[in-house]
Amino acid sequence: MPDLFKSLGLAVSASVFTLSAWAANVSPAQQADVWFTQAVASPTVPGINVAVADTGGVVWAKGYGYADLENQVPMSPKTKMRIGSVAKLITAAGLMRLYDEGKIDLDKPVSEYVPYWPKDKPVMTLRQLTSHTAGIRHYKEGADEFLYNRPFADVKAGVELFADDPLLYLPGEGHSYSTFAWTLISAVMEGADGFYVGNGRDFHQIIQQEVFTPLQMQDSAFDDQYQIISNRQRPYSVKEGKLINSPQTDHSYKWAGGGFLATPSDISRFAVAHTQGEYLKPDTVKQMFTKAKLNNGQEVNFGIGWMVGFDDIKDGKKYRDDHEAQTMMANMPHAVMHSGGSMGGITMTILCLDHQRAVTVVKNVDGDNSANVFRLALQTLSAYHNAS
């Protein structure tokens, strides 16, 4: 389970968030407006952004607070946010487009696609990488890898960060969340497309042509710190209870796993597109939303990129005795999701497959415990479901 779910922050007062009788007399957007206004009133939440989408497109999107405090730039639905590990969903979509095109076999050894992957590594597959069961490590403790602020020339340079490190376990024998697994996935995508033999696309081109363009995600981009990107949020952090500007970071070593900017509207529309049977084949999406299994047959709560169901959250200490949250999760038995943590951003995306509706919530601050993006996303989606 991603560490982020253990640290999404304290729940906002139940008196504000309870779906009580008054909800029957106001629209879902009006209900949510109260919750988000309360959330951004915290002195450690500069801004927060939300969007809900269904099969008809974006049904509600709004920004609260500030995208840039120092220059008093209001948060807007057009503000491009740091979405952290929700980037993995974008990469998974690009990967599965290549799968639908017959370019990738999810069960072939990674080494068949990536010529520079060490030959002495145990055999691992794409299916294992996408479900965090390949044994690739996450950020190394004490190395400040999360805070890197130097450019990496290409995907290969990112892979070299961990390629020679020992696996945490033999592929398929365990489950451990890993952002670096997705850097290797991006290398596989380049190899499968022919990039390493001179007649294919690099990872940037694949994502642009297989994800952003066909889904008209015009407000999504690689979080390149050197590019001028319109409507880019400013990142903030909370340190010792005080709001500060986040340290500058460079995400070129982990584009695939945590290096995108996007509006919540783009991400919510993107999520719903998985349910329509046009962007990806239905059987392909079914594979993405099916829990992976270890070698011994034990299920893990990830499919291909997506976290499947609320099991990890429902059973966790934070929500175990929260009747309201348990009820809302129980009312979405077929939900898939992903969280995202970045320097200056915390994200939650939930897609309810039964209602074909998605919500994305992003705040432009890390380290804040006053606004819980998971709870905000869950309650917003529940309000729209209850109004249906």
Domain ranges of the chain: 3-387
Residue written as tokens 């175990």?
320
- pLDDT confidence bin for 25, thresholds 50/70/90: confident
Of the listed ranges 23-32, 210-219, 352-361, the one predicted with least confidence: 23-32
Of the listed ranges 17-26, 51-60, 222-231, the one predicted with least confidence: 17-26
**Type of residue numbered 61:** A
Residue 303: beta bridge partners? none
CA-wise closest residue to 268 among 81, 87, 49, 52 = 52
Query: Which residues are CB-contacts of 376 (< 8 A; sequence separation ≥ 6)?
Result: 12, 35, 36, 39, 48, 50, 348, 361
- 345-352 and 357-363 beta bridge pairing: antiparallel
- Contact of 88 with 80, CB cutoff 8 Å: no
Query: How many Cβ atoms from other residues are within 10 Å of residue 114's Cβ?
Result: 23
The mean pLDDT of 78-92, rounded to a whole number, is 98
Angle (deg, nearest 10), helices 180-192 and 87-100: 30
Q: What is the pLDDT of residue 285?
A: 98
Which residue stretches of the chain are H helix?
A: 14-17, 28-40, 87-100, 126-130, 155-159, 180-192, 203-207, 255-258, 264-273, 282-288, 311-314, 323-330, 373-387
Multiple choice CATH, 3-387, 3.40.710.10, 3.50.50.60, 3.20.20.70, 3.40.250.10 = 3.40.710.10
The mean pLDDT of 327-337, rounded to a whole number, is 98
20 pLDDT exceeds 60?
Answer: no
What pLDDT, in 10s, does the model give residues 255-287?
Answer: 999 999 999 999 999 999 999 999 999 999 999
- Residue 64 corresponds to which tokens in the numbers above? 């609260």
